[in-house]
Amino acid sequence: MNAQDVETNLDCATPDDPDPFRSGATTSRADRPIELSVIIPAFNEEESLGYLYDRLIETLDPLGINYEVILVDDGSSDRTFDELSIIAARNPHFRIIKLRRNYGQTPAMVAGIDHARGRVLVTMDADLQNDPADIGMLLETLNEGHDMVVGWRINRQDKWLSRKLPSLIANRLIAKVTGVNIRDNGCTLKAFRSDLIKRVPLYGEMHRFIPAMSSTLGCSVAQVGVRHHARQHGESKYGLGRIYRVVFDLVVIKTLLSFAQRPTAYLTGTAVIAGMLSIIGIGAALYAALATPEGSAVVYMSSSILFGSLALFLGLIGIIAATIHHANADVTQARIGEWSEW
């Protein structure tokens, strides 16, 4: 997604709106750093948004912390943006990001994550299938010392054959392939330390693989049971097509994770094979030069030089990959270590 594809009207809340946190004393919540950002992607969710606003306010105001809610309109074609604008005008804690077209849930979440200012980030859906009332519990669990808290839907209100069964199989498969055992990868309700989630590369439909993608950072993940409700308004944006996309993403993630853990192993392994082929080429060229008069030694020698160059090239890239990997690991550890409880 290019920068010009994101329109932020982050200041669309009118400044003269009554704000319980800005009135009165100078030490109001709005003066303090933002502790929590709730990120909610919405694609054609016009009917749910009013209820979502009420439920969020009910939950977030009593927490007594400075928060923001970032609502990302993922190129909706209905009145979603108008509804979001009304909400943002009513309450300055709510900010809107508008994407120019429908990019999908993961890019919409990433846009929200990039713009979030809170120390802790919570992600959830806009259709109220996740319950905002669970946010407090997620924050408490995060404060027990975890980097990420992942919800699992205790009593999932979706169809069994088309939704729950494929999910069950996908969760088992993801656990086996990635080695990260998460009960319910498809549950969007999660809480993260902001510095951690901002470092996780997410694209395609990888919002379902955040714990696996974060595993290279060595973070501590807790899982908590959360409520789940049947969709009351609008329609699900996914059909059975998600199954093949999950399998495809899984292959990509497995490759990324294996390579990220041992970047030099793959490169030096291939370099060694190329080096051996180069040596065999030299042997064959020598044999051909001495034993056969047809001049095939030139062909063997050329192949040998090609394989030798490849081995050298891959070896050098391996060294660079190892250097970057170690430097990055140090920075990541240092950043993670900087965080303290809020």
Residues engaged in binding ligand UDP (CB under 6 A):
41-43, 45, 74, 102, 104-105, 108, 125-127, 129, 236-238
> Nearer Cβ to ligand UDP, position 79 or 335?
79
> Nearer Cβ to ligand UDP, position 199 or 231?
231
With CB under 5 to 8 Å by kind, the binding choice for 43 among ligand UDP, Mg ion, none is: ligand UDP
Residue 123 contacts residue 188 (beta carbons within 8 Å): yes
Q: How far apart are CA 227 and CA 174, in angstroms?
A: 23
Q: How far apart are CA 49 and CA 66, in angstroms?
A: 22
Residue holding tokens 């943006």? 81
Per rule CB under 5 A, count of chain residues that contact Mg ion: 3
CA atoms within 13 Å, Cβ hemisphere of 259: 10
With CB under 5 to 8 Å by kind, the binding choice for 342 among Mg ion, ligand UDP, none is: none
> Nearer Cβ to ligand UDP, position 29 or 233?
233
Pairing between strand 120-123 and 190-193? Answer: antiparallel
> Nearer Cβ to ligand UDP, position 125 or 134?
125
Nearest by Cα to 132 from 227, 18, 268, 265? 227
**What's the DSSP call for residue 147?**
S
Smallest distance, ligand UDP to C-beta of residue 246, A: 12
Smallest distance, ligand UDP to C-beta of residue 236, A: 3
CA atoms within 13 Å, Cβ hemisphere of 319: 5
Q: How far apart are CA 328 and CA 322, in angstroms?
A: 10
Smallest distance, ligand UDP to C-beta of residue 311, A: 45
With CB under 5 to 8 Å by kind, the binding choice for 74 among Mg ion, ligand UDP, none is: ligand UDP
**What's the DSSP call for residue 6?**
E
State the helix-helix crossing angle for 263-291 and 242-261, rounded to 10 degrees. 70
Span interacting with Mg ion, options 43-51, 67-75, 91-99, 125-133, rule CB under 5 A: 125-133
127 binds Mg ion (CB under 5 A): yes
129 binds Mg ion (CB under 5 A): yes
Smallest distance, Mg ion to C-beta of residue 125, A: 5
State the helix-helix crossing angle for 242-261 and 165-178, rounded to 10 degrees. 10
Reported as type and span, the H/E element at residue 193 is strand 190-193
Smallest distance, Mg ion to C-beta of residue 331, A: 36
249 binds Mg ion (CB under 5 A): no
With CB under 5 to 8 Å by kind, the binding choice for 150 among Mg ion, ligand UDP, none is: none
Query: Both tokens of residue 50?
Result: 């009013």
- Within positions 138 to 167, which residues make up the interface with Mg ion, using CB under 5 A? none
> Nearer Cβ to ligand UDP, position 185 or 214?
185
Smallest distance, ligand UDP to C-beta of residue 330, A: 36
Smallest distance, Mg ion to C-beta of residue 236, A: 6
User: Environment class of residue 144 by beta-carbon count within 10 Å: exposed (0-12), middle (13-18) or buried (19+)?
Assistant: exposed
For binding to Mg ion (CB under 5 A), which residues are involved? 125, 127, 129
